[in-house]
Structure formats: structure tokens, C-alpha cells
Structure 1
Amino acid sequence: MALLTTFSCEEKFFAMENIYCSFDDASVAGVIAFYPITDVTELYSFYQKEVNPILKQAIYRGTAGTFDETKNLFKIFSPISYLSTVAANNIPPIFLAAGKKDRIVDAYQSEELHKDLQERGITSIYIELPWANHGFDIVINGPGGQLVFQYMHQFLQWIVNTKRFQVLLGRLNNLALSRFW
């Protein structure tokens, strides 16, 4: 949801509920997403290969219809569909983590999003754990939890320091302008 909200701020996702959202209103400094669903159509295809009736039923109930009946919803609820050159200017740095053995959300989704973000010049960090499954972070003291939380901690420190620097720079600019005018 964090990715969808950040990427679609001025798009159809909010317009469906007559909600006005502007990137100026949402001062998001960064987004963290563990094993995120980035493309619902791709997720549907993944579930078709997995032959898992429970997962297929979850998508059917979540969209209230079959793929053919609800294609437009699949796109509206896919963060990756909102990536564009214009949106790239408003998307903050993104931290993604996924397990290669995930059978609920294919790590390919995070890989593709990371690649698309990088191509658009958006700061993106992607951690892929080759041995990990969905929910690898539940055991914080486990290898997946420790590794990802260490990198996430560094990402958050970088975000906070970058934000502080921008605020400080803005204050210095205002101070300099007030002294000369």
C-alpha cells in the first residue's frame, strides 16, 4: 500500500473515491516495502503457474471478479503502472526487500520495480535474499531479519540525514535572502 499510495498520488487510484491528493501534500521522504505486490497482473500470472487454489481465490475475492472482468482494477492497483517520467520527479527513495524462494509474491516483482526505478533515475535499493521465503523478517534475530534490518536502518539514517540537510539548506537560503533584501 505504501508504494501504491506514493506512486499514484495524483492518479486514478485516489480519483476513484473522489479524493484529491497532491505530491505537495504528501511529503514522503522514503518508502520501505518488503516482498511487495507491484503488478497485480503479474501476480495473477504467477498464481496461475503455482496451481494454488487459495491464492487464486484471494485475488478473485479481492477484485470481485475474474481477470477478464476486472482488468482495469488490476492496473489501478498495480504501483508499477504509475511509473512515468513525470511521476519520477515526485517519487522518493525506495527500499525493497524480497526472498527469492517466495511462493506468495514472486521476487521478480521487486526486481522489475527496482530496474524501472533505476532507469528513471529514482533512488532505489533492492535486497534479495536467495534462501528466503515470504515473511523472512518475522524472526528478527534470524539471518534474513538481521540482514535486512541492518540495511533498512542505514537507509532510514540516510533518508533522515538527507531530509535534515534539505531543511537546513532551505533555512540558509531563506536567511541569505532576508539579509540581502
Structure 2
Amino acid sequence: MFQLLLAAVIVAGAYAASFTLHHAPLWSWIWKVALAVGEYGVWFLPLAFGLGAIAWATTGDGLRVTLVALCGFAVVALLRPVAGALAIGARLPRELAAAFGVPDGDGARAAFSPVRLVFHPEQPMVPVETHVFARPAGEELKLDFYRAARSGAAGAPCIVVVHGGGWDGGDRQQIPEWDHRWAARGYAVAAISYRLAPKFIWPAQREDVLAAIAWLKAHARELGVDAARFVLLGRSAGGQIATAVAYGAHDPAIRGVVSFYAPQDMEFAWGVSREDDALNSVNLMRQYLGGPPDSPERIARYLSASAQAMIGPETPPTLLLHGAPDTLVWHRHSERLTAALQAAGVRHYFLSLPWATHAFDFNPDGPGGQLADHAIGFFLRAVMRD
């Protein structure tokens, strides 16, 4: 009985570890397992070694070889993100400099450090203020403002963070560790709320982001913000909103946009959406855009929500981040936008991570989190210069 239980645990663990090598199934929860092994994998290494040692000591020859081999496979799979991050980190500063035309300003700080996977740097904390910035249709919209730890005479550049959540959920307190870090480095951060589907469909969300930017500009002096320097940043659904707003606003104060694992062409997204995927993406898009793109009005709505349809001479510099085996938002979305930006001559960089799944930045000190930290830091310095 013990050997059967041990074998079941080892097989399940090896299968979970394999998600660093291929797409996880489209089950509603399994992507979280992929996130755990991809961004917290080093913490599972002692378990893999321990199970291998137990299998070696307690099982017969035939089963022993199989179980120890599976544990060895799990170790290799768990180390895959580390090896990948080392390879990408070695070239990332050079590629970012080529994309944005500035030298890397991090000095000796590496883009990725295996030591940081275990020994995390101290998490900075800054005071957080909550403000109401708009009341559209009776909905009170708030933002959490993280005041920059330092700023120049003109004020600090400001990052406007748009949360994810499938357009019908999520909130502005999403991964606040990032907001504290950016504020500690001299950027003001405004993590905003917006109206959610299905009660409110697009373009309500665009109006809310623009209202937040207008409020920040109007209160720039008291907040210590430079009203001429903003970057929009969004994750998943928030990445779609942030990029569509940045591309469509034609506001020179929006210096750039950072988009994590987001759909960027909504007609394309509708065409590849499925009812049986982890999110029931067909339902999410119906809720958000009012139905399929089957009428002139809806087609216009889809286009106005599609950053890819709005690329032009005024398109701001763009940083895209996406995991190749993401099962919630297809990696192809970022590939297609990258190709369109390249064809249009827009400054951009696409950080594609071969092992990472959705929400890989949940761990800022994981393999994907460290690379994202470096890329975003470089991007902010490049586009936020006075």
C-alpha cells in the first residue's frame, strides 16, 4: 500500500513538473499548478530529491528505477525555468538597449539571479492613499496612490496600473508588491478601479482609465506627479484595456505601455475563443463587448477595443510580456501585435518566456518575475526621461 501511494505521489509530481515543458490541460484550475512549478519550482526540489531517496530505499528493483527516474525528470523540469531565465537574462539588457536606444542603467545588477529565488530582497513598503477619482453612472471609482519615494522639481513620473480579472472581476489590490517596488524606485503609482462587465461593456473601461489619468493630471501638484509623464501597465484583461487606451488616446503624456499576457485584437480573440477552455472565454467576451462581432455597431466596438487596429505614427513605445505555454490567453496574441508593431516601426520589445504561464509575475522574485522586473525597469527609464 505504501509503495502504491509513493508511486502515485511521484507520478503526479512528475506530471505537474512537466508543465514547465509543455502546455497544461485546459482545466479551470490546473494553470495554477503550472504557475507554482514555473515560478516557485526551486522550493519543490527538496521534495523531488526526498521522494527519490525514499523510492530508492523502499522499493524493489523494477519499480525503484522507474520512480527514481521520474524524480530525476521532475528535478530537470523544475530547473528548466532557472536555465531559461539565465539564458534570457544574459541577452536581455543588450536587446532592450537595441529596442529602446538607451544603455542599461542597472550597473552590475543582473537581469536574473538564482540566489534571489531563495533569498528575496527586502520588500519595500510606501504609504498608500486611496482617492475617489470618478463617479460614472453612480459607480464610485477609487485608486490606490503609492507616492514616489523621491521626485524631481517637476514631480515623479506615474505608472497607471490596470488590474486583470477577465473584465468581470479582479481589483486594484492585485499584486501590490510591484506597486510598492516601483514607488520605492521613484515612480508614483496609481492602481485604479474600473467598471466591470457584464453590467458595463466597453468602452466604459476606456472612459474610466482616461478619467483616472485626467484626475491625476488635475491633482498632479499635490500628489507630486509629473503630469507630462505617464506609463500605462495592465495584466491580462487589464493589459488589453491599458494598451487600447494608450494607442487610442493620442496623448503625448502617455509615454509608453506595458502589457502582460493580454489579447490585443478582439476580433481575432473572438475567433479563437472557446466555451470549454479554463475561462469560458466566449462568455467573457460576450459580457465585455456585448456579443459577437456580427453587426456594424459591434464590429466598431471590437475595433475600438483592439490595440492592433490602432497602430499609427503616434503609437507609444510598448513592452509586451507573455509566457509561451499560457493556457488562458494565447501567446499568439502578443506575437501578432509584435509583428504589427515591427511592420509599423514602433519601438517595442516582446519578452517571451518559454516556460511561463498566466500570471507568472505573481512571484516578483521568480524566474519570470525577475526578468519582468528588469525589463520594466529598463523600459521605464527609457520612456520616462525628462
TM-score by length of 2: 0.35
Equivalent in 81, 100, 104 of residue 324 of structure 2 = 100
**d(CA) in 2 for partners of 1:54, 1:46:** 11
Name 2:276's counterpart in structure 1: 51
Q: Render the CA deviation track for 1:15-39: whole Å, top value 9, x for unaligned.
A: xxxxxxxx3x541111111112201
Structure 1: which amino acid aligns with 2:268? Answer: E
1:45-69 deviations in whole A, cap 9, x for unaligned? 2223x73272211111112223425
The amino acid of 1:104's aligned partner reads: L
* Amino acid paired to 1:54: N
Determine the structure 2 residue equivalent to 1:74. Answer: 302
From the two aligned structures, give the one with the greater strand fraction: 2
Q: Secondary structure at the match of 1:154?
A: helix
CA distance in 2, matches of 1:44, 1:102: 17
- Alignment length (residue pairs): 143
Per mean C-alpha deviation after superposition, the further-off stretch among 56-65 and 92-101 is 56-65
Q: Is the 8 A contact 2:246 2:256 kept in 1?
A: no
Q: For each residue in 1:42-99, what CA deviation from the matched residue of structure 2 results, as whole angstroms up to 9, or x when unmatched?
A: 1122223x7327221111111222342533322221111112xxx32x1221111011
Query: Which protein is bigger by CA-based radius of gyration?
Result: 2
Whole-angstrom CA distance in 2 between matches of 1:5 and 1:149: 23
CA distance in 2 between partners of 1:43 and 1:120 (Å): 21
Flag the structure with more relative contact order, 1 or 2, with Cα contacts below 8 A and sequence separation at least 6. 1
* Alpha-carbon separation, structure 2, partners of 1:154 and 1:26: 20
Work out the CA distance in 1 between the residues paired with 2:382 and 2:288: 36
Helix, strand or coil for the counterpart of 1:137? Answer: helix
- Cα distance between partner residues in 2 of 1:43 and 1:104: 12
Query: Gaps spanning 5+ residues in structure 2: where?
Result: 1-240
**For the structure 1 residues 125 and 74, does the alpha-carbon distance in structure 2 shift closer, same or farther, using more than 3 Å as the test?**
same
Alignment RMSD:
1.8
Q: Which runs of no fewer than 5 residues in structure 1 stay unpaired?
A: 10-22, 165-181
Q: TM-score, normalised by structure 1?
A: 0.72
Asked if 1 retains the 8 angstrom alpha-carbon contact of 2:244 and 2:304, the reply is no
Q: CA separation in 2, counterparts of 1:105 and 1:31?
A: 18
Q: Could you list the per-position Cα deviations for residues 125-168 of structure 1 after superposition, in whole angstroms to 9, with x for gaps in the alignment? A: 100011111111011111111111111111112223xx32xxxx
**Helix, strand or coil: the match of 1:141?**
coil
1:148 aligns with 2:365: no
Structure 1 segment 73-152 matched on structure 2, within 5 A = 73-83=301-311, 87-88=312-313, 90-152=314-376
Q: Is the CA contact (8 Å cut-off) linking 2:257 and 2:319 kept in structure 1?
A: yes
Give the structure 2 partner of residue 38 of structure 1: 264
1:113 is displaced (CA, Å) by 1.0
**Pairing 1:3–2:251 present:** no
Amino acid of the structure 1 residue aligned with 2:302:
F
In the other structure, the counterpart of 1:16 is none
